[in-house]
């Protein structure tokens, strides 16, 4: 049985989008001019309120996508509030530069806010994405309009109430709901100066086209992935199996950096696959009622995604060797059993394309150069991992992985203090860290004639 949890979320049409843009334009000059310390205090207050209202936010996320409340409160709330706190700390640290005046000109470089920005979010981590875009945008003095995904709008709407309580001035942060057509209005709006998008590569391309065809607004894109994990014969097997399991089973695989392609050295193949199978099967105990403390895995977000993933799995079963999973869990609902395919053909859909479900493909390798070629033979480049106890090899392989993130003896990890983003068709630009806030600024060079 599939059912709708809420059918009265307001969908922003053209007039609503224009109203939000006007409000953001009106609020921009005073927000940009506010004392940086005062701006930080407001963002800290907002962050405190998010933590204080973790229960209500967890209820809304559980209602939308069946997200387990324990995981949400233990992982997504700390990550969200950590991002707001981190960027609040940047409010007074956006330094510029100055250069030698040996030719008679003093050269000063300033960082200034861009103006009215917009964010379009994917469904799988609405609060975290709101923080990764909203916090650096506001800390740098911009105003922003944030559109949630039509599949998970409720927690973002609640943030609007908390923003008011925190004293964020009207128009500085604006939450709107709606599907693709609402996002398209933002992407093509003539008065929005930057758009930051998280979602699929196909939608990202449409947004880049709309931005170029309208006012050439700046575009950041956080897109899809098909991240490789390379497990060498000297790896700690328990560690590799643990991370390769949670890296693709966590959030039921609805994670952009899911470690969905594993390459294991031929000499440990059987031991690795047996242990991975046991771990995947054991993880099934984590599915269930989102308010149950033992539940730590959600279903797929909706019927559409369930049918899409099920179709890819059925096709995979015809062409590849299934080790475990490959079917639905429970007689109703959108739960998919964690699934392992081995020895996929290089052209198989399950091997090449992002599935966004709990599905991994495991291949074997014998030689480092050969596995690097195969791991990098993809248009994606979001993340990758190497498992080895040889530090030289681990660092060498990490440097050869063509992706914005390379993990050693772990995978599918993020950290707010360091840049995150994709090579190739996994994205444009970086979120998180200093790069994240700099992407919400323009540099201005001031040249002063010192001989005048």
Q: Which of residues 373-402 bind ligand NAD (CB under 6 A)?
A: 382
Yes or no: say if 309 and 339 are a contact pair by the CB < 8 Å rule. no
Q: Which is nearer to ligand NAD, 311 or 444 (CB)?
A: 311
Q: Which of residues 182-201 bind ligand NAD (CB under 6 A)?
A: 183-184, 187, 198-200
Q: Which of 133, 129, 173 is nearest to 39 (CA)?
A: 173
Which of 58, 127, 219, 223: binder of ligand NAD (CB under 6 A)? 223
Yes or no: say if 77 and 127 are a contact pair by the CB < 8 Å rule. yes
Yes or no: say if 194 and 171 are a contact pair by the CB < 8 Å rule. no
Q: Which residue is nearest to ligand NAD (CB)?
A: 183
Residue 338: φ, ψ to 5°: -55, 130
Q: Is 222 in the active site?
A: yes
Does position 121 interact with ligand NAD (CB under 6 A)? The reply is yes
Segment lying near ligand NAD (by CB under 6 A), choices 84-92, 144-152, 227-235, 328-336? 144-152
Count of residues touching ligand NAD (by CB under 6 A): 28
Dihedral sign for Cα 352, 356, 359, 365, please.
Answer: positive
Which of 68, 126, 136, 225: binder of ligand NAD (CB under 6 A)? 225
Q: Rounded to whole angstroms, how far apart are CA atoms 292 and 281?
A: 20
Which of 344, 354, 357, 405: binder of ligand NAD (CB under 6 A)? 354
Does position 120 interact with ligand NAD (CB under 6 A)? The reply is yes
Residues contacting 392, CB < 8 A, separation 6+: none
Q: For ligand NAD, what does the binding mask look like between residues 147 and 186, x meaning CB under 6 A?
A: x-xx----------------------------xx--xx--
Q: Which is nearer to ligand NAD, 86 or 356 (CB)?
A: 356
Instruction: Out of 14, 95, 150, 222, pick the active-site residue.
Output: 222
Which structure tokens are listed for 148?
A: 């949630």
End-to-end C-alpha distance for the chain, whole angstroms:
78
Strands (E), 60-157: 97-99, 105-113, 116-120, 143-147
- Residues belonging to the active site: 222
User: What are the residues binding ligand NAD (CB under 6 A)?
Assistant: 120-124, 147, 149-150, 179-180, 183-184, 187, 198-200, 203, 206-207, 222-225, 256, 354, 356, 382, 427
């Amino acid at each position: 049985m599939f059912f709708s949890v809420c059918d009265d979320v307001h969908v922003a049409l053209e007039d609503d989008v224009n109203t939000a843009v006007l409000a953001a334009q009106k609020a921009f000059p005073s927000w940009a001019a506010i004392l940086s310390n005062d701006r930080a205090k407001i963002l800290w207050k907002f962050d405190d309120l998010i933590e204080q209202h973790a229960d209500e936010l967890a209820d809304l996320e559980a209602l939308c996508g069946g997200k387990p409340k324990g995981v949400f409160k233990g992982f997504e709330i700390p990550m969200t509030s950590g991002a707001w706190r981190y960027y609040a700390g940047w409010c007074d640290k956006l330094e510029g530069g100055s250069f030698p005046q040996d030719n008679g000109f003093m050269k000063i470089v300033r960082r200034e806010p861009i103006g009215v920005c917009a964010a379009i979010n994917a469904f799988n981590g609405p609060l975290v994405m709101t923080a990764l875009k909203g916090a650096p945008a506001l800390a740098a003095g911009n105003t922003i309009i944030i559109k949630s995904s039509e599949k998970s709008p409720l927690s973002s709407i609640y943030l609007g109430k908390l923003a008011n309580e925190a004293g964020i001035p009207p128009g500085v942060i604006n939450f709107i709901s709606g599907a693709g057509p609402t996002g398209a209005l933002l992407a093509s709006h003539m008065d929005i100066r930057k758009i930051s998008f998280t979602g699929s590569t196909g939608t990202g391309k449409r947004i880049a086209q709309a931005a170029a065809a309208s006012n050439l607004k700046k575009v950041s894109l956080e897109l899809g992935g098909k991240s490789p994990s390379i497990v060498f014969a000297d790896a700690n097997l328990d560690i590799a199996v643990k991370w390769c399991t949670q890296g693709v089973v966590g959030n039921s695989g609805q994670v952009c950096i899911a470690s969905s392609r594993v390459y294991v050295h031929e000499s440990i193949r059987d031991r690795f696959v047996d242990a991975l199978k046991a771990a995947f099967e054991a993880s099934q105990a984590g599915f269930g009622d989102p308010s149950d403390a033992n539940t730590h895995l959600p279903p797929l977000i909706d019927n559409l995604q369930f049918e899409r993933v099920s179709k890819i799995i059925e096709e995979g079963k015809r062409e590849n060797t299934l080790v475990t999973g490959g079917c639905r869990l429970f007689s109703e609902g959108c739960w998919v059993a964690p699934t392992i395919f081995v020895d996929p053909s290089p052209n198989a859909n399950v091997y090449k394309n992002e599935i966004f479900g709990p599905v991994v493909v495991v291949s074997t390798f014998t030689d480092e150069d050969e596995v690097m070629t195969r791991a990098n033979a993809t248009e994606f480049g979001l993340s990758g991992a190497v498992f080895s106890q040889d530090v030289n090899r681990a660092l060498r392989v990490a440097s050869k992985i063509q992706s914005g993130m390379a993990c050693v003896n772990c995978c599918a990890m993020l950290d707010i203090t360091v840049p995150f983003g994709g090579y190739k068709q996994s994205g444009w630009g970086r979120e998180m860290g200093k790069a994240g806030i700099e992407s919400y600024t323009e540099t201005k060079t001031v040249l002063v004639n010192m001989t005048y």
